[in-house]
Chains A and B, each alone.
Chain A
Amino acid sequence: MLEIKNLRVTVEEKPILKGIDLKVNAGELHAIMGPNGSGKSTLAHVIAGREIYEVAEGEITYNGKDLLDMDPDERALEGVFMSYQYPAVIPGVNLAYFMKAAANAVRKHRGEPEMDAVDFLSFIKEKLAEVEMDEAYLKRAVNDGFSGGEKKRNEILQMLTLDPSLAVLDETDSGLDIDAVRIVADGVNKFRRDDRAVVVITHYQRILQYMDPDVVHVLMDGRIIRSGGKNLAHELEEKGYSWLREEAAA
Chain B
Amino acid sequence: MQHFEEQFAALSGTDHEPPSLQQLRQTAFDQFKEIGFPQQSWEAWRFTNLKSVERGRFRLAAAKDLPTISDEAAIGLQIPTLLFVNGHYQPNLSKAPAGVTVSTLLESYSEDAALVTNGYDAGRSPFAVLNTAMMNSGLHLRFTEEFSSDSAVRFLYLTTKLSEPIMNHPRLVVDLADGAQATIVEEYRGDGEQPYWNNALTVLRASTNSQLNHVRIQHEAASASNLGATFYQAPADSAIHGTYLSAGSALHRHDVNVVLSGEGADVTVNGLCLTRETEHADHNIIMDHVSEHVTSRMLFKYILADRSSGVFNGRAVVRQDAQKIDANQTNNNLLLSNDALMNSNPQLEIYADDVRCTHGSTTGQISDDALFYLRSRGLDTASAKALLINGFANEVVEEIKDDTVQAYARDILESWLEGVNRG
Binding site for B on A (CB under 8 A): 48-52, 71-73, 75-77, 81-82, 84, 87-93, 97-98, 101-102, 105-106, 109, 141, 158, 162
Residues B379 and A90 in contact, CB atoms below 8 Å apart: no
Partner of A71, one of B370, B375, B377, B390: B375
Contact with A along B373-384 (1 / 0, CB 8 A): 111111111011
B390: which of A73, A88, A93, A102 is its contact (CB, 8 Å)?
Answer: A93
Contact A102 B378 (CB under 8 A): yes
The 8 sampled A-B contact pairs (Cβ below 8 Å) are A71-B375, A88-B370, A90-B387, A92-B390, A93-B387, A98-B377, A102-B379, A162-B377
Q: Which residues of B contact A93 (CB under 8 A)?
A: 387-388, 390-391, 394
Residue numbers in A under 8 Å from B383 (CB-CB): 101, 105
Interface core residue of B369, B373, B381 (most chain A CB under 10 Å): B373
Is B367 in the interface zone, CB < 8 Å from A?
A: yes
CB pair B376–A76 under 8 Å, yes or no, is yes
Q: Name 15 extra pairs, CB < 8 A, besides A73-B384, A88-B372.
A: A49-B375, A50-B372, A52-B368, A72-B375, A73-B375, A73-B380, A76-B377, A87-B373, A90-B373, A91-B395, A93-B387, A93-B388, A98-B377, A102-B378, A109-B378
Which 3 residue pairs of A and B lie closest in terms of their CB atoms, listed nearest first?
A92-B391, A93-B391, A88-B373
Q: Which residues of B contact A106 (CB under 8 A)?
A: 378
Bitwise, B347-382 to A at CB < 8 A (1) or not (0) is 000000000000000000001111011111111110
Residues on the A chain within 8 Å of B388, using CB: 90, 93
- By a CB distance below 8 angstroms, the chain B residues around A50 are 372
| Alpha-carbon gap, A65 to B366, bound state (A) | 31
Scoring A75, A84, A87, A98 by chain B CB atoms within 10 A of each residue's CB, the highest score goes to A98
Shortest distance between the CB of B327 and any CB in chain A (Å) = 23
Report the bound CA distance from A72 to B369 in whole Å. Answer: 13
| Residues A73 and B387 in contact in the complex (CB < 8 Å), given A88-B369, A88-B370, A92-B393 | no
Q: Which of B370, B372, B377, B379 has a CB less than 8 Å from the CB of A158?
A: B377
A51, A91, A109: residue with the most chain B Cβ atoms closer than 10 Å: A91
Question: Nearest residue in A to B387 (C-beta to C-beta)?
Answer: A93
Does B392 count as interface, using CB distance less than 8 angstroms? yes
A158 to B376, CA, bound (A): 11
Report whether A72 and B372 are in contact in the complex, using a CB–CB cutoff of 8 Å: yes
| Nearest chain B CB to A80 CB, angstrom units | 8
Q: B376 and A49: CB pair below 8 A? A: yes
Contact residues, B372-423 vs A (CB, 8 A):
372-381, 383-384, 387-388, 390-395
Contacts of B373 in A (CB 8 A): 84, 87-88, 90
- Tell me whether B378 and A76 are in contact (CB under 8 A): yes
Q: Chain A's nearest CB lies how many Å from the CB of B396?
A: 10
A71 — which chain B residues lie within 8 A by C-beta?
A: 375
Please state if B377 and A102 are interface contacts (CB–CB under 8 Å): yes
Interface on B for A, CB 8 Å cutoff? Answer: 367-370, 372-381, 383-384, 387-388, 390-395
Of A49, A50, A101, chain B has the most CB atoms within 10 Å of the CB of: A101
> Which residues of B are found within 8 Å of A97, using beta-carbon distances?
387
Q: Which residue on A lies nearest to B397, using beta carbons? A: A92
What is the CA–CA distance of A143 and B285 in the complex, to the nearest angstrom? 33
Residue in contact with A73 in the complex, picked from B368, B370, B379, B392, CB distance below 8 Å:
B379
Closest Cβ of chain B: how far from A8's Cβ, in Å? Answer: 22
Nearest Cβ in chain B — how far from A190, in angstroms?
20
**Assembly CA distance A50 to B380 (angstroms):** 14
Closest Cβ of chain A to B410, distance in Å, is: 13
Q: Which of B367, B372, B383 has the most CB of A within 10 A?
A: B372
A31 CB, min distance to chain B CBs, angstroms: 21
Q: A88-B369, A89-B370, A92-B394 are in contact. Are A48 and B376 (CB under 8 A)?
A: yes
**Complex formed: what's the CA distance from A88 to B378 in Å?**
15
Q: Contact at B391–A73, with CB atoms within 8 Å?
A: no
Write the nearest CB–CB distance from B413 to chain A, whole angstroms.
Answer: 12
A143 — nearest CB in chain B belongs to which residue?
B373
Report the bound CA distance from A98 to B376 in whole Å.
12
Contact A92 B392 (CB under 8 A): yes
Please, how many angstroms separate the alpha-carbon atoms of A76 and B369 in the complex?
16
Query: How many angstroms between the C-alpha atoms of A80 and B372 in the bound complex?
Result: 14
Judging by beta carbons under 8 Å apart, are B379 and A101 in contact? yes
**A91 touching B377, Cβ below 8 Å:** no
Q: Give the docked Cα–Cα distance between A88 and B375 (Å).
A: 12
Contacts A84-B373, A90-B374 given: A105-B379 contact, CB under 8 Å?
Answer: yes
Chain B residue nearest to A91 (CB atoms) is B391
Does the CB pair B394–A73 fall under 8 Å? no
Tell me the bound Cα distance from A163 to B374 in angstroms.
Answer: 16
Contact A82-B374, Cβ < 8 Å, known A88-B369, A91-B391, A98-B387 = no
User: Closest approach, in angstroms, between the C-beta of B363 and any C-beta of chain A?
Assistant: 15
How near does chain B come to A113, taking the closest CB pair, in angstroms?
Answer: 16
Chain B's nearest CB lies how many Å from the CB of A89? Answer: 7
Which residue among B373, B376, B394 has the maximum number of chain A CB atoms within 10 Å of its CB? B376
- Distance in angstroms between the alpha carbons of A53 and B234 in the assembled complex: 56
Q: How close is A148's CB to chain B, nearest CB, in angstroms?
A: 16
Chain A residues whose C-beta falls within 8 Å of the C-beta of B384 in the assembled complex: 73
Residues of A contacting B376 in the complex (Cβ-Cβ under 8 angstroms): 48-49, 72-73, 75-76, 81-82
Interface centre among A49, A72, A158, A162 (most CB of B within 10 A): A72
Set of chain A residues within 8 Å of B367, measured between Cβ atoms: 88
* CB of B46, distance to nearest CB on chain A (Å): 31
Residue of A49, A52, A101 touching B387 (CB-CB under 8 A): A101
Q: How far is the CB of A131 from chain B (nearest CB, A)?
A: 16
